[in-house]
Chain A
Amino acid sequence: KQEVTQIPAALSVPEGENLVLNCSFTDSAIYNLQWFRQDPGKGLTSLLLIQSSQREQTSGRLNASLDKSSGRSTLYIAASQPGDSATYLCAANSGYSTLTFGKGTMLLVSP
């Protein structure tokens, strides 16, 4: 059974800092891994999708890496802004038609 853990659970940083969010998964046999952003009470917005054959993906100030052998993924956010404040969720797609989510990292970026 796939299990996903996200560290830290919460993070508070001043505007402009670079930061790293961590995601670990127990079963390395994944199809892909997807990072999402969730604003309070809202749905999930997809940020980045990394296929199992890829090592990293970039979109603007976001960069996600994947190391299947160690069961880890990181989301790097450069030059953080107050608008980045949200909960960030990672989800592992191990096939069997399901995504397994971590509990998320709640990020607060202060002006």
Chain B
Amino acid sequence: DAGVTQSPTHLIKTRGQQVTLRCSPKSGHDTVSWYQQALGQGPQFIFQYYEEEERQRGNFPDRFSGHQFPNYSSELNVNALLLGDSALYLCASSLWEGTYGYTFGSGTRLTVV
């Protein structure tokens, strides 16, 4: 049973560019959440998607946007990249509000230069 799959694994972008990260949830899960983890910190919640709609959003600017597709997979888009956006981006999937816990992917390491 495949877990959460994220792509790409690593990415290097130039300041001001745009980036798209992708996530396929664990089989049977219908909810996808995105987290940003800076070096030495715990993951910070960006937003969550359920039934193709953004259900909840953390304290991140509008430059961060997302999408969920009918097959429950999701994309995270970041526009006008800043050096401070360099981080590990983690995708997590769950059923509804995580009553049975969250499953995380291996992450995408984004470096902005």
Which residues of A does B touch, CB under 8 Å? 4, 31-32, 34, 36, 41-46, 49, 89, 91, 93, 95-104
> Which residues of chain B are near A100, meaning CB under 8 Å?
45
B21 interface contact, C-beta 8 A: no
Closest Cβ of chain A: how far from B39's Cβ, in Å? Answer: 10
Please measure, in the bound complex, the distance between the C-alpha atom of A42 and the C-alpha atom of B90, giving whole angstroms.
9
Residue contact B42 to A89, C-beta cutoff 8 Å: yes
Closest Cβ of chain A: how far from B29's Cβ, in Å? Answer: 13
Contact with A along B28-51 (1 / 0, CB 8 A): 000101010000111111001010
Known: A41-B88, A99-B45, A101-B43. A34 touches B101 (CB 8 A): yes
Residue contact A46 to B48, C-beta cutoff 8 Å: no
Number of contacting residues on B, CB 8 A?
Answer: 31
Additional A-B contact list (19), CB under 8 Å, known A42-B106, A98-B56: A43-B4, A43-B104, A44-B43, A45-B104, A46-B102, A46-B104, A89-B43, A91-B43, A96-B56, A97-B31, A97-B48, A97-B55, A97-B56, A98-B45, A98-B48, A99-B102, A100-B45, A102-B42, A103-B42
Flag the segment in B11-19, B76-84, B92-100 that touches A.
Answer: B92-100
> Which residues of chain B are near A45, meaning CB under 8 Å?
104
Which residues of B does A touch, CB under 8 Å? 4, 6, 31, 33, 35, 40-45, 48, 50, 55-56, 58, 88, 90, 92, 97-107, 109
Closest Cβ of chain B: how far from A100's Cβ, in Å? Answer: 8
